[in-house]
Structure 1
Amino acid sequence: MTWRWRLEKADGTRASGEAEEETFGTQAAAETWLGEHWRELREDGVDTVVLLDGEETVYKMSLHE
């Protein structure tokens, strides 16, 4: 399947951005990408990321402590 991130604001609405267009061949590749970009996403107003495998939610994670 194709792995990707859904970006959300604190109120649960989707945060738009180029990052949502990124797709990855593996979960590890998606997680590595997030590890490299989470600060930028948070600065752009993203509060939560949701990892998707195809259309299935794998997990949801806050970008805040």
Structure 2
Amino acid sequence: MNLPEPPPTFRQPNPAERPWWWQLVDADGNEVPEGTVSEEYAGQRFANQGDAESWIGETWADLAAEGVEAVVLHEHDRRVYGPMSLSA
């Protein structure tokens, strides 16, 4: 039995709907492996650049405490800027 796709309020947005994301980088300059940071921080995607930048402004200290040294902002596959250090 095929069920209809859930309405947008009940499903995760796809990358086309939320193209902005932060690449989390460790001290060696490598992407932080999946499972290294809390699930609430991993894989976050945003509808626009402002939302992405607001989120990093609110969470940078928590990310740094979990071992993230820097972040790189992307829109889809395009690097927008970074790496940007999370050190105080």
Does TM-score exceed 0.5, indicating one fold?
yes
Q: Distance in 2 between matches of 1:40 and 1:28?
A: 19
* C-alpha contact 1:47 1:63 (8 A) present in aligned 2: yes
User: If each structure's helix is expressed as a fraction of its own residues, which one has the higher value?
Assistant: 1
SS of aligned partner of 1:41: helix
> Deviation of residue 11 (structure 1)?
0.4
Q: Which residue of 2 aligns with 1:10?
A: 27
Match of 2:52, SS state, is helix
How many aligned positions are there?
Answer: 65
Partner secondary structure for residue 21 of structure 1: coil
Partner of 1:55: 77
Q: Provide the C-alpha distance between the structure 1 equivalents of 2:25 and 2:46, rounded to a whole number of angstroms.
A: 19
Partner Cα separation in structure 2 for residue 46 and residue 20 of structure 1: 11
Larger relative contact order (C-alpha < 8 A, sep ≥ 6)?
1
Larger radius of gyration: 2
Give secondary structure in 2 for the equivalent of 1:12.
coil
The Cα RMSD (Å) is 1.3
TM value normalised by structure 2: 0.68
Structure 1 consecutive aligned stretches of length 4 or more whose deviation exceeds 2 Å? 16-20
State the Cα deviation string for residues 2-54 of structure 1 (Å, max 9, x = none).
00000000101111333241100000000000011000000000001000000
List alignment gaps of at least 5 residues for structure 1. none
Relative to total residues, which structure has the larger strand share, 1 or 2?
1
